[in-house]
Amino acid sequence: MESLRESGFDESIFFELTPDLMCIAGKDGFFRKVNPAVIKKLGYSEAELMARPISSFIHSEDKMTTQHRRTTELLRGKSLLNFQNRYIKKNGELVWLEWTSVYNPEKEVVFAIAKDITERKQIEIELEEKYKKFKSLTTHFKSSIEEDRRYLANELHEELAQLASVLKTDIEWIHANASALSPTAKSRIEHTLGISRLLIKTIRRISFSISPNMLEHLGLNATLEWHSKEFSILNGMPCSFESAYDETLLSNEVRIDLFRICQESLMNIVHHAKAGHVKIRIEDLGDQLQLSITDDGKGFDASRQKRRGGLIRMRERASSINGQLEVRSEPGKGTTVSVRLRK
């Protein structure tokens, strides 16, 4: 095949006329040749660009990353594709450039071409700032809701439960000392005593459901282990809990959200799954942590799942902590709800 040069095409014309920034740099870190687009974009003369190390034009925060990629990849024969860094123009403005660079070891030079992506990066930065504000608001609202939950749970546990305990104590005293009561009255008192005991247990269960204090004091593992045992007792459905990860990696916000997702999933199992056994597990997958809740219930066609309130709440909570929620199920084969989080 006839080469471009043999056909009379002069590559230097393309080098001079292309709007992309093109340059040739030496292994020593200095420009050897630049096209007019580089001069126009950065605002320096060709002589000024040649006189200083290329690193002197790079933003201070990007110098280390650029040098590392250059020495560990580029100069070792690996091409740099879509590498982004910031350059400082002569007038002090910053410009984002996206580079594709190739090293020629025989001539010890780097051939590089770049595009100005400043406008795109500004949009990305603005979107990131909006996301951070949104996430901050979400965290604030969740914290406020959890604080209200803690207050309500404390009122239930400390006030109502104590009042119910006093009531139970009085009924027990009457039951033990009122020998003159009729058998019917004694029977009613025994019934009332049983109801008072059930009332205390119910208040404590609701209090835990609203806001488990042990989550803050003992951690997620201890809370889920206790919750799984309580779930088994209350619903007559064996529920086991296993963990194989470092809980110290989790923030308090993540602990709360994982507990709420687990809580919501267990409620769905009680109301819909008709399961015989439930298994909760948190495990370390290397660069991710995974919470999974698996039941052996009736299952459903996951591809046709409806956007129920419980599922929507779980997805929203997972998303708020940068996690991904997945629901796997088939008719007759149970269901697994899992959340994966990057460490």
- Decide: 274 and 298 in contact? Cβ < 8 Å: yes
Q: 5 by DSSP, 3-state: which? A: coil
DSSP at 78: P
- pLDDT class of 4 with cuts at 50, 70, 90: very low
Q: 152: which 2 tokens?
A: 């309500």
Interval 196-252: pLDDT, tens? 877 877 776 676 666 677 788 889 999 999 889 988 988 889 999 999 999 998 998
φ/ψ (deg, to 5) at 301: -80, 105
Three-point CA angle 97, 103, 108, nearest 5°: 120
Of the candidates 265, 153, 258, 155, which has an alpha carbon nearest to the alpha carbon of residue 209?
153
| DSSP helix/strand/coil, 238 | coil
What's the confidence (pLDDT) of residue 306? 62
User: Tens digits of per-residue pLDDT, 87-130?
Assistant: 999 999 999 999 999 999 999 999 999 999 999 999 998 888 88
Q: In this structure, are residues 301 and 331 in contact, taking their beta carbons and an 8 Å threshold?
A: yes
Contacts of residues 24-32 at CB distance under 8 Å and 24 or more positions apart, as own/partner, are: 24/109, 24/110, 24/111, 24/112, 25/54, 25/109, 25/110, 25/112, 26/108, 26/109, 26/110, 27/75, 27/108, 27/109, 27/110, 29/53, 29/54, 29/55, 30/54, 32/109
Task: Single out the residue of 342, 325, 208 nearest to residue 287, CA to CA.
Answer: 342
pLDDT in tens, 26-41: 999 999 999 999 999 9
Task: Tell me the average pLDDT of the chain.
Answer: 86
pLDDT band, residue 194 (cuts 50/70/90): confident
State the pLDDT confidence band at 163, using cuts at 50, 70 and 90. confident
Which span out of 33-37, 173-177, 193-197, 317-321 was modeled with the highest average pLDDT? 33-37
One-character DSSP codes across 108-161: TEEEEEEEE-HHHHHHHHHHHHHHHHHHHHHHHHHHHHHHHHHHHHHHIIIIIH
Task: Specify the higher pLDDT residue, 306 or 249.
Answer: 249
Residue 210: its pLDDT value, please?
A: 64
Cβ atoms 35, 49 nearer than 8 A: no
The larger pLDDT score, comparing residue 159 to residue 262, is at: 262
Task: Look at residue 313 in the predicted model and tell me its pLDDT.
Answer: 86
Strand 323-329, strand 288-295: pairing: unpaired
Whole-number percent of the chain with pLDDT over 90: 52
% of the chain at pLDDT higher than 70:
88
pLDDT-derived band at 10, boundaries 50, 70, 90? low
Local structure of 276: helix, strand or coil = coil
Confidence of residue 253 (pLDDT cuts 50, 70, 90): confident
Q: Retrieve residue 185's tokens.
A: 């009255």
- The Cα 22–Cα 42 span in angstroms is 12
Nearest Cα residue to 33 out of 44, 21, 25, 41: 25
Judged against a pLDDT cut of 90, whether residue 325 lies above it is answered with yes
pLDDT at 118: 96
pLDDT at 55 (0 to 100)? 96
